[in-house]
Amino acid sequence: MTHPAPQDNDQTGTSPAVPSVPATAAVPASPATKDTAAKDTKKKDAKKKAKASAEKTKVTKSMAGSTWAALIIGALLLILLLVFIMQNQQLIELNLFFWTFEFPAGIGYLFSAITGALIMALVGGMRMLELRRQVKKKK
């Protein structure tokens, strides 16, 4: 009587060398999974395109916009200045060389601020002229 030969799947601890294959590779992807992946890819592509087009159509800072903002700020400062002048109506005396002036304190402060702004503008203008001369010399 002959005994049957042991088969490859015996539990003795010796198994034949079979390459391991991940379980997910053996299971085919369902059509729903493929559709979801395709939709995700399309969404990502659409987002990239939208971002690229937004960068192309990005509005740059304009002179008109800056001027508009400066006018709004100037109008607000003017309102504050008018309130300050209206609250400082007491008369003061100003002596300049041999002249004597008498006017409300708020107006005096306004004249002082205007004089300071003009001096600042003159100094800035001189600096711009100096820089232009330096640029022309280098050319």
pTM for the predicted model, two decimal places: 0.44
Question: Longest C-alpha distance within the chain, in Å?
Answer: 145
What does R_g of the chain's alpha carbons equal in angstroms? 42
* Spatial contact of 110 and 81, defined as CB atoms under 8 Å apart: yes
The pLDDT score that the predictor gives to residue 56 is: 67
| Residue 63 confidence (pLDDT) | 79
Q: Is the pLDDT score of 87 beyond 60? A: yes
pLDDT score recorded for residue 110? 85
What's the CA gap between 22 and 93, in Å, rounded? 97
Q: Which element (helix H / strand E) includes 78? A: helix 63-87
**Calpha distance 130→123 (Å, rounded):** 11
Length of the chain: 139
Segment 106-132 shows an average pLDDT of: 90
Distance CA 79, CA 86 (A): 11
Q: List residues bridging with 100 in a β-sheet.
A: 95
The pLDDT, as a whole number, for residue 55 is 66
Q: What is the pLDDT of residues 4-17, one digit of tens each?
A: 555 555 555 555 55
Amino acid 21: pLDDT: 53
**Cβ distance 96 to 108 under 8 Å?**
no
Instruction: Give the confidence band of 115 by pLDDT, cuts at 50, 70, 90.
Output: very high
